[in-house]
Amino acid sequence: MPRSDWRRPPLQQLDPSIRRIRMTVSYHGAHYSGWQRQYNALTVVQVLEETVKAMIGEEVEIVGSGRTDSGVHALGQVCHMDIRNQKVKAEKFALALNRLLPPDIRILESSETGNTFHARYTAMARMYRYYFKREQDMTAFDQSLVAKVKRFPALELLNGYASCIQGTHDFTTFTASGDVSSSRWRDIYESYWRMETDRWGKQLLTYTICGNAFLYKMVRSLVGSMMDFAEIGMPVQEFSSILASKDRHKVGRTAQACGLYLYKISYDENEYAWFEEKHDE
């Protein structure tokens, strides 16, 4: 779909006394009930906001590029906060906050930005990666960080399904109940499976997907379904038909949260411009 149809609200001007600080965050999601604040559970953003308050004595609202569910990890979540504090240099927030945060949340970088940047509304692409290991290759360090399977399905068949996902589609079929999005059409720029090797020399089956945005549990539903369908040898054309059916009853399982990582957020308007140009042809 053209970017003009993304329905993003206009950015608000910042008060001259306000600074906007951008941060890139990694976290071990198994220890938290997701990114977004909740009334009855500990979340990543709650810990971040409380730590910033302890550091500068100021209540802040931290806005992320998007939400991650309970148990989902992040290597490159991007967020911002608007503060009145004028003393702390922007690049020092990463170092100072990491001294106060628990070790399962790390600020990778921090910088000053302006009202032309918004962690959510100026994001151009979001990339997720999912990791599987065979049961026989699991180490003591993989618990809650990698999903476990008995065997790997055929890579060629998995990539056949993955190719169907690229492009612009209505992803109702792979959207969990509870999604409140007004539209379930999404642009998917990249979708592929690869065999990789972890730092212990063990095989990792990885899935990478990158798009303009994602629906509730969409990635985990896609991953679990592709793995189930490849196990029984479902033809690629049948997978394509299931995607087009918009029938939630036709999907496979939803993959575990532990294997999913929010890998990267792109704010580069040119990185996937080819997709927009292709759409306009």
Q: What is the CATH number of the domain that holds 204?
A: 3.30.70.660
Same domain? For 96 and 129 the reply is no
pLDDT above 70 as % of the chain: 97
Same domain? For 99 and 130 the reply is no
Enclosing domain of residue 86: 3-113
Residue 212 confidence (pLDDT): 94
For residues 252 and 207, what is the distance between their CA atoms, to the nearest angstrom? 16
Of 113, 140, 160, the position where a domain reaches its end is 113
Contact 107, 98 (CB under 8 A): yes
Q: What is the CATH number of the domain that holds 56?
A: 3.30.70.580
Catalogue the active-site residues. Answer: 69
pLDDT in tens, 211-224: 999 999 999 999 99
Confidence of residue 34 (pLDDT cuts 50, 70, 90): very high
- Note whether residue 188 is domain-resident: yes
* Number of folded domains that form the chain: 2
Residue 11 confidence (pLDDT): 85
Cα Dmax for the chain:
61
Long-range contacts of 147-152 (CB under 8 A, 24+ apart): 147/255, 147/256, 147/258, 147/259, 149/205, 149/227, 152/195, 152/203, 152/205
Binding residue ranges? 128
Of 113, 136, 163, the position where a domain reaches its end is 113
Q: Give which of 103, 104, 72, 53 is closest to 254, Cα–Cα.
A: 72
Same domain? For 255 and 168 the reply is yes
